[in-house]
Structure 1
Amino acid sequence: MPEGWAEKRVIISSDPAALAESVAPRFLSRVSKRIDEGKLAHISLTGGSMGAAVLAAAARNPRAARIDWSRVHFWWSDERFVPLGHADRNDRQAREAFLDGLEIPEENIHATLGSDDGAGLDDAATAYAEELARFPGAEGAWPSFDVCFLGVGPDGHIASLFPDRSEIQITDRAVVAVRDSPKPPPERITMTRPVINSSKRVWLVLAGADKAAALGLALAGASYASVPAAGAKGRKRTTFFVDQAAAAQVPPDLIDREY
């Protein structure tokens, strides 16, 4: 695991719509800066309503049209093991909200196998780990994501790493299969904590009063085994982008009013 993670900070917006509009230009700015430095950008996306809202806001931003997306690679921290194109898949959501409108090579969009691809769940997890390993970073056999987006569930889960389950403890693999998920659908594929925490920046985006308790526990230093969001840490920056309703239990000293 990387040492010396950045301190967690919280950025508060008034409501979910304002939250998406706040995160989207920061995302586009980060991608632009990386490309302007002559480097590839690797971005890990997430599902959920806020994940889609951020991408939709990015699609509406004029700056998106000025980015050379051929130098950007997109990944997903987790995926539901259902057929390709299924409404439950995170990659379908991202394509509809953002990716389908970009001039980007299809090979830069790294989706997991679907349940209709002929591979079982374990083989699909292995295949995604092998795909990650094609772009090794300094921290391991996977890219060091410039931005790793994460949602946070009311129970504190991130990706498909749920509280008090074995997957959150796995450190010797990049990707694992999840069975009997406490949130449907039951079969999923997820990156492990070492991959997430090798990211340069982890951006957790969450909205709603039902997330306030999980956010409060994550910021208070709860055990990552019981509150997985507490264990999500970027090497350069760890930022919780939240709306006012989700921020009810945020300590004032963690609120960043400048970033």
Structure 2
Amino acid sequence: MNAEPKVSIHPDATLLAASVAARLVTRLVDIQNERGTATVVLTGGSLGTAALRAVAQSPARSAVDWTKVDFWWGDERFLPETDTDRNAVQAQEALLNDLNVPQDRIHEFGSSDDFGSQDEAAADYASRLQAAADSETIELRDSRLPRFDILLLGVGPDAHIASLFPEMAGVRTTDVTVVGIADAPKPPPLRISLTLEAINSAEEIWLAVGGQDKAGAVGLALAGAGPVQVPAAGARGHKKTLWLIDQDAAAQLPHRLIGNGEA
């Protein structure tokens, strides 16, 4: 059974991004001490990118051996490779260009330059995930996926995670690890996303959420709503499910969870 959510509340979005960055560096050091290598699944959005920028600015980042970190993505916009709206482009500019990460450890989704449709790009990513899983030397929770140590997620005002939107086909998709999205209500409409099954294979899921416009989504997700209506409610890591939120996003948090946090 996957881990129940814990909540950590921060004064504002700037301090929240700094906290996510500090936690990420610390946790990656711990994982590398245990296993030698580590795997992170990145998210997009303003807060996710701000957290990566905070890692880049942190003197502690040198404690991580970045040559032994694999980076995957939870979702991507199906756009040309250099389009600045792509999550991968934003991550490269915020952090990855500054690190000594071998290119074969950076696993971007295919772009519209590479594939004729988002479904083809989804099938390619699923194939690459399977190949990575096949090369693992440890026992996996899902034989279709490599071990995901930390999976980062943002949450939209409508409670979407990755590119899994409420009531739409993507969040209902099962038995595959990656899905093409043809009609996302948030532009651009064409996207690729890990499925909820794939997301929930992660050892730890961190949902980083800031802003008053997200308060309703946070409140519903942590009050026990269903994942089809509130996709964020369905994200549960095996060992840890951690909501890292600012005071504005915590405005509608269920009272039973206030103080149920992690320092």
Output the TM-score relative to the length of structure 2: 0.94
Name the structure 1 match of 2:137.
none
Name the structure 2 match of 1:86.
83
In the alignment, structure 1 residue 147 sits paired with structure 2 residue 144: no
Name the structure 1 match of 2:5.
8
- CA drift of 1:94 comes to 0.5
AA partner of residue 153 (structure 2): L
Give the whole-Å Cα distance in 1 for the aligned partners of 2:220 and 2:144: 31
Name the structure 2 match of 1:26.
23
Output the TM-score relative to the length of structure 1: 0.96
Give the whole-Å Cα distance in 1 for the aligned partners of 2:35 and 2:148: 16
Contact preservation (8 Å) 2:25, 2:63: no
Where 2:132 maps in the other structure, the secondary structure is coil
- CA drift of 1:257 comes to 4.5
In the alignment, structure 1 residue 176 sits paired with structure 2 residue 189: no
Give the whole-Å Cα distance in 2 for the aligned partners of 1:247 and 1:22: 16
Name the structure 1 match of 2:50.
53
Contact preservation (8 Å) 2:209, 2:249: yes
Where 2:245 maps in the other structure, the secondary structure is strand
Unpaired stretches in structure 1, ≥5 consecutive residues: none
- CA drift of 1:66 comes to 2.7
Where 1:247 maps in the other structure, the secondary structure is coil
Name the structure 2 match of 1:37.
34
Where 2:192 maps in the other structure, the secondary structure is strand
Give the whole-Å Cα distance in 2 for the aligned partners of 1:90 and 1:141: 23
Where 1:203 maps in the other structure, the secondary structure is strand
* CA RMSD, 1 decimal: 1.2
AA partner of residue 33 (structure 1): D
Give the whole-Å Cα distance in 1 for the aligned partners of 2:9 and 2:154: 15
Aligned pairs for 1:1-259 within 5 A: 4-136=1-133, 137-254=140-257, 255-259=259-263
Give the whole-Å Cα distance in 2 for the aligned partners of 1:70 and 1:138: 25
Unpaired stretches in structure 2, ≥5 consecutive residues: 134-139
Distance 1:65 1:89, change over 3 A: same
Contact preservation (8 Å) 2:115, 2:121: no
- CA drift of 1:167 comes to 1.1
- CA drift of 1:40 comes to 2.1
Give the whole-Å Cα distance in 1 for the aligned partners of 2:76 and 2:169: 18
AA partner of residue 234 (structure 1): G
Where 1:135 maps in the other structure, the secondary structure is helix
AA partner of residue 30 (structure 1): R
Distance 1:118 1:167, change over 3 A: closer
AA partner of residue 182 (structure 1): P
Name the structure 1 match of 2:136.
none
Q: How many residues align?
A: 256
Distance 1:70 1:215, change over 3 A: same
Please identify, of 140-149 and 47-56, the stretch whose mean Cα deviation from structure 2 is larger: 140-149
- CA drift of 1:67 comes to 1.6
